[in-house]
Chains A and B, each alone.
Chain A
Amino acid sequence: QSALTQPASVSGSPGQSITISCTGTSSDVGGYNYVSWYQQHPDKAPRLMIYDVSDRPSGVPDRFSGSKSGNTASLTISGLQAEDEADYYCSSYTSSSTFVFGTGTKVTVL
């Protein structure tokens, strides 16, 4: 199972919006509404930010949103803040009853 494809880095200024893409196949992203997104600050454990493509766990700011079209899922951060600077990973359930993560995206707040 190959990792889902994400851009290596995305940057934006405070207050701006950025979008991170996550491209898979019809056997993972495109086949299920089980895409999730994780935020990871340096030397910290990952944190769930979006599940089931577009749902937010309690406690996650509403400036984080998710969507999906075909084999590509996206995470959008609106009103970018300094504390959003982190690595972000997507994940999808697969047709093999396994999971696959994305390659990871480093978000920089300029």
Chain B
Amino acid sequence: EVQLVESGGGLVQPGGSLRLSCAASGFTFSGYDMHWVRQPTGKGLEWVSTFRSAGDTFYSGSVKGRFTISRENAKSSLYLQMNSLRAGDTAVYYCARGDGGSGEDFDSWGQGTLVTVSS
């Protein structure tokens, strides 16, 4: 069974930093693209970042230059380093798995971790 478990969320002041983690199990982590998607309370989903199994990384314009995605295949873990945080970054952050084939979708999701940016 595929499992994705996020951790590292919490309350941080504007301008601060936070590092999210996603522990994966139940599949061969190194063979899959992995993604971060966020959702402000009561609002819609927003794609944040992707780390391809081939090594490429991509970011949304709203986080580029502030967030860094990384992965550690030996530990089946995905990370999101978030710097220069703003109130607009407040959201539940989900870790999601790509479909592993030629498609471009998010076929498994974690339960999410809440990040609150506030003074």
Binding site for B on A (CB under 8 A): 1, 3, 32, 34, 36, 38, 40, 45-48, 51-52, 57, 89, 91, 93, 97-104
Q: In the assembled complex, how far is the CB of residue B35 from the closest CB belonging to chain A, in whole angstroms? A: 8
Q: Are A89 and B44 in contact (CB under 8 A)?
A: yes
Q: Are B107 and A57 in contact (CB under 8 A)?
A: yes
Total interface residues on B, CB under 8 Å, equals 24
Binding site for A on B (CB under 8 A): 35, 37, 44-47, 50, 56, 58-61, 94, 99, 103-112
26 contacts between A and B (CB under 8 A): A32-B104, A34-B104, A36-B103, A36-B106, A38-B45, A45-B94, A45-B109, A46-B45, A46-B106, A47-B109, A48-B106, A48-B107, A91-B45, A91-B47, A91-B105, A93-B104, A97-B56, A97-B58, A98-B47, A98-B58, A98-B59, A99-B47, A101-B46, A101-B47, A103-B44, A104-B45
Q: Give the most central of A57, A100, A101, A103: most B CB within 10 Å.
A: A101
Note all chain B residues with C-beta closer than 8 A to A98.
Answer: 47, 50, 58-60
The one of B50, B56, B58, B94 in contact with A46, judged by C-beta atoms closer than 8 angstroms, is B94
Note all chain A residues with C-beta closer than 8 A to B56.
Answer: 97
The one of A1, A3, A48, A51 in contact with B61, judged by C-beta atoms closer than 8 angstroms, is A1
Task: Report the bound CA distance from A103 to B60 in whole Å.
Answer: 16
Task: Report the bound CA distance from A38 to B107 in whole Å.
Answer: 9
Q: In the assembled complex, how far is the CB of residue B20 from the closest CB belonging to chain A, in whole angstroms? A: 15
Q: In the assembled complex, how far is the CB of residue B76 from the closest CB belonging to chain A, in whole angstroms? A: 19
Q: In the assembled complex, how far is the CB of residue B92 from the closest CB belonging to chain A, in whole angstroms? A: 9
The one of B59, B103, B107, B110 in contact with A45, judged by C-beta atoms closer than 8 angstroms, is B110
Q: Are B45 and A89 in contact (CB under 8 A)?
A: yes
Q: Are A45 and B111 in contact (CB under 8 A)?
A: yes
Q: In the assembled complex, how far is the CB of residue B62 from the closest CB belonging to chain A, in whole angstroms? A: 10
